[in-house]
Chain A
Amino acid sequence: MKDFSNLISAIEITNKTNAKIEALVNYFKTAPNKDKLWLIALFTGKRPSRPVKSNLMKSWVMEITKLPEWLFLESYSSVGDLGETIALLLPNPENTIEKPLHVWIEELINLKPKTDEEKKAYVLEAWNGLQAQERLIFNKLIGGNFRIGVSKKTLVNALAKLSGIDANQLMHSIIGNWTPNSISFEDLLNGTHINYDNSKPYPFCLAYALEKELPDLGAENDWQVEYKWDGIRGQIIKRKEEVFIWSRGEELVTQQFPELVAAIAQLKGDFVIDGEILAIKDSAVLLFNDLQKRLNRKNVTKKLLEEVPVGFYVYDILELNTIDLREFSMEERRRKLEELFQQETDELLQLSEVINFKNWNELDALRNEARSFNSEGLMLKKKTSLYHVGRKKGEWWKWKVDPLTIDVVMIYAQKGSGRRSSKYTDYTFAVKNEDKLVTVAKAYSGLTDKEITEVSKWVNKNAIEKFGPVRTVKPELVFEIAFEGIAYSKRHKSGVALRFPRIKRWRQDKTVKDIDTIESVKALIDAN
């Protein structure tokens, strides 16, 4: 497992995708074929289910180290990762065990049905034979995310570099139906188990943010205007009775949206359409936050399907009955799209509405209204535009609504996880409520690494409560937060709920005296 452990070390230290790809390629050049297959399986959601509960592992570590539970938890909260905390707390190993990756994984699969006592004996022996870094890998093999920033896309790019095979084809191959015991590494790369002709996607056409005044765009009639949606941009392919859904990140996400697959399968004809995957309930588009619950799940449960149903708003058509339409104009493509959707379709699939307008000056009001039904603003597409590869200036524009902002003070801080586990990155903010403070939002990111480091230092110095992961801090640091919408809420103590709050900037020029009041925040609801 040394090679695999070295690979993980090489990948985790860098944030450069190319360096990650290079490390993966080097690994693929030398590792045993079985190990390669397992590596691909681990990073594509095909890992075996957890054989040992994390609570058991925790209790064994406490037994071995004789540490009290609070100190274990304090360590965990500082390290930010359970597998790593365990690896670091254990005493140095007395033995050396060296086995290839696939042997470890197969042993762990066999461990699953065993008794707790047998599991304990196995795990303790492994811990006592591995150095800290390998021990961490072993713990991660049992369960938990590697958090090393290797997406399917990165993996596929490495395999493409290694083999010279088209990356999208490889994406289909690794997502396809295989297990490490059912296929050879060669066959997996060559895609003997798939039919790539059916799944092959087109590159997405993208828009620039609007940087002109509307009248400078020319005649109103030359433009097709639609609402902009904040979901997952997706390309749905139906060829020869097979359905594939690609995300803009060039990942195959078909399995995550079974209801879309079913709805598309009912349609007649072969086609490739472009649109937005959105969480839609009772005909209303939900927030991206809701949609997120549906992403990267290994199993899409019935409960989840009911809780967050999805739909697809169709923007464009790229291929119809094997004919590539990308050289057709937007206007013609739209006509063909409308023709295709004249057949009876499931209501999950909706054509993106084309907005009727006569004058440019009508659009600003429409854009600002968009927020009220969770649209992000408007899209302006030239009717003569072809479906380009990537971005082409002047043809497609996105025109987003301006976010709302308020000034708030930080009252709690919490450490992040993974790369951010050493710093306080997650903050809770409050506004004034007469002479008290009331929580209005939790947010992370939006600050530079340097600012996060500075804020973390400040938190260390100004923490009032010191145990556990959350620090209560003196209300001193003022931030401007931006958000997409605001509504009254009974679930929140403040009586308001913000949509997508995030830090816009750190207002070092302001003090807690300058922050917003709950009244001024509520006034935004009525104004919007």
Chain B
Amino acid sequence: MKLIKFTKKGIYCIPGKFYLDPWYPVDYAVISHGHADHSRWGNKHYLCQNDSKAIIKHRLGQDISIESLAYNEPKNINGVQVSFFPAGHIIGSAQIRLEYKGYVVVFSGDYKTQSDFLTTPFAPVKCHTFITESTFGLPVYKWKTEQELQTEIQDWVLQNQQNNRTSVFLGYSLGKAQRMMSLLDGVADIYVHNAINHLNNAITNSGIALPKTTLLTPDFKKAAIQNKIVILPPALLGSKMLKRIPNAATAICSGWMHIRGNRRWKGVDAGFAVSDHADWDGLLQAVKATEAEKVYVTHGSQAVFSKYLNEIGIEAHELKTEFGDDEMTKEGEGKKETA
């Protein structure tokens, strides 16, 4: 009997009778992390990692039916042993491990192998079948270490201060915003947009410590934030709020900023390749560490990455999913937040 199958609603566990990060409403959804393309509305029941619970409830409603597990805490669902392992993507992000009659499938969700100052570091899990993302599945993607990024970004802020400019970072409100906070902690006061502030509150209320920030209210005083740091969701690029910030130097933080053409496309003052996804070497390491006999490659460069895996002797298949691969807009952070 097969353990999983790929359906229109998402990845389905046949004996367990549940879905992994489904795209359409189902009875039982096992969720890898809180981003909107993985954690959607309308499911009857949710299962996630402990640190994701507050985030998912914040986004989908306090009244949803949801339970959570610690990392590596097994739960038996219809004979299938389900457990979560750190994915290093955002707070509470998990790889989902399924074991049934000795056969193990791991669904990576989104992950990064490199450690940051905030999330539980990625832990490789041995399995028979591995379903991996491939957002940055090209060998040109090679991230700097967190320390290198910290130096680079803090230097930029200090340089802006010398030029009397306010440093504005654009990054999605769940994940990137908190990561930027951790990279910028201590260099100057950090002001955050309402959407980010809400998430920060949800996260800290569930007992996770975050760097100190101040809410940027719509009627903010220009003098108060001059030379300070502001973090906004990407949808606010070009907005009135951004234009009101005095002498703003704007930076986008996303893995896509690794390529010059992308940095120049957005018309900002700087682009930092800060990604919560694995780079090329990270993807390869992760796949090899699973020792999987079969790999399914999803969202991103699935054609390239699966072809390469096959060439180096790892059986790999492309898998079409509806997970986003655009770091800038993946949350669907649209007008809701600009309003």
> In whole angstroms, what is the CA distance A84 to B261 when docked?
10
Q: Is B267 an interface residue (CB 8 A)?
A: yes
Q: Give the complex CA separation of A81 and B258 in angstroms.
A: 13
Give the distance to chain B from A453, nearest Cβ to Cβ, in Å: 8
Q: Which residues of chain A (437-468) have a CB below 8 Å from chain B? A: 449, 457, 460, 466-467
Interface size class of B (residues with CB under 8 A): 20 to 34
| Contacting pair B260 A81 (CB below 8 A) | yes
A136 to B260, CA, bound (A): 10
In the complex the two chains form, is B304's CB within 8 Å of A71's CB?
yes
Cα separation A525 to B258 with both chains bound (whole Å): 48
- B259 close to A422 (CB less than 8 A): yes
Q: Which residues of A contact B271 (CB under 8 A)?
A: 13
Q: How far is the CB of A26 from chain B (nearest CB, A)?
A: 11
B139 touching A422, Cβ below 8 Å: no
For B264, the chain A residues whose CB sits under 8 A away are 12-13, 15, 418-419
From the candidates A13, A85, A421, name the one contacting B269 in the complex (CB within 8 A): A13
A420 within 8 Å of B (CB atoms): yes
**Are B304 and A13 within 8 A (Cβ)?**
no
Query: Is A242 in contact with chain B by the CB < 8 A criterion?
Result: no
Could you tell me the distance between the alpha carbons of A417 and B326 in the complex, rounded to whole angstroms?
A: 20
Q: Nearest residue in A to B267 (C-beta to C-beta)?
A: A15
> What 0/1 readout, one digit per residue, does chain A (466-496) give for beta carbons within 8 Å of chain B?
1100000000000000000000000000000
Docked CA distance A67–B304 (Å): 12
The answer to the question of B294 belonging to the interface, with a C-beta cut-off of 8 Å to chain A, is no
Given known pairs A13-B270, A68-B311, A71-B308, the reply for A78 and B140 (CB within 8 Å) is yes
Mark interface residues in A274-316 (1 if CB within 8 Å of B CB, else 0): 0000000000000000000000000000000000000000000
Taken residue by residue from 496 to 517, chain A's Cβ proximity to chain B (1 for < 8 Å, 0 otherwise) reads as 0000000000000000000000
* Cβ of A80 under 8 Å from chain B: yes
* 0/1 interface trace, chain B 311-328, chain A, CB 8 Å (1 if under): 100000000000001100
* Given known A-B contacts A13-B270, A422-B259, A71 and B303 have beta carbons under 8 A apart: no
> For A81, what are the chain B residues with a Cβ–Cβ distance below 8 Å?
260-261
Interface string of A366-390 (1 = CB under 8 A from B): 0000000000000000000000000
Task: State which size class the interface on A falls in.
Answer: 20 to 34
A417: B residues at CB distance < 8 A: 261
Which of B138, B141, B268, B303 counts the most chain A CB atoms within 10 A?
B138
Within 6-56 of A, Cβ neighbours of B (below 8 Å) are at 12-15
Contact indicator A13/B263 (Cβ below 8 Å): yes
User: Contacts A13-B268, A88-B258, A421-B261 given: A67-B311 contact, CB under 8 Å?
Assistant: no
B142 interface residue (CB < 8 Å to A): yes
- Residue pair A421, B263 in contact (C-beta under 8 Å): no
Chain B: which residue is nearest A70 at the CB level? B307
Task: Decide yes or no whether B256 CB sits under 8 A from chain A.
Answer: yes
Q: Which residues of A contact B262 (CB under 8 A)?
A: 421-422
Mask, B98-115, CB within 8 Å of A = 1, is: 000000000000000000
Q: Which of A401-457 contact B (CB under 8 A)?
A: 417-423, 449, 457
Known A-B contacts A65-B139, A68-B311, A89-B139; the reply to A74 vs B304 at CB < 8 A is: yes
Contacts of A12 in B (CB 8 A): 260, 263-264
Complex partner residue of A419 from B139, B140, B261, B326, CB under 8 angstroms:
B261
Q: Distance in Å from the Cβ of A8 to the closest Cβ of chain B?
A: 10
CB distance from B261 to the nearest CB of A (A): 3
Is the Cβ of A78 less than 8 Å from the Cβ of B265? no
Give 17 A-B contacts (CB < 8 Å), ordered by A residue: A12-B260, A13-B269, A13-B270, A14-B267, A14-B269, A15-B267, A68-B311, A71-B138, A71-B304, A71-B308, A79-B259, A81-B261, A88-B142, A136-B260, A418-B264, A422-B262, A457-B326
Q: What are the 7 A-B residue pairs with the smallest beta carbon separation, nearest first?
A: A421-B261, A88-B140, A466-B303, A422-B262, A419-B264, A422-B261, A75-B140
The chain A residues found within 8 Å of chain B, CB to CB, are: 12-15, 65, 67-68, 70-71, 74-75, 78-81, 84-85, 88-89, 92, 136, 417-423, 449, 457, 460, 466-467
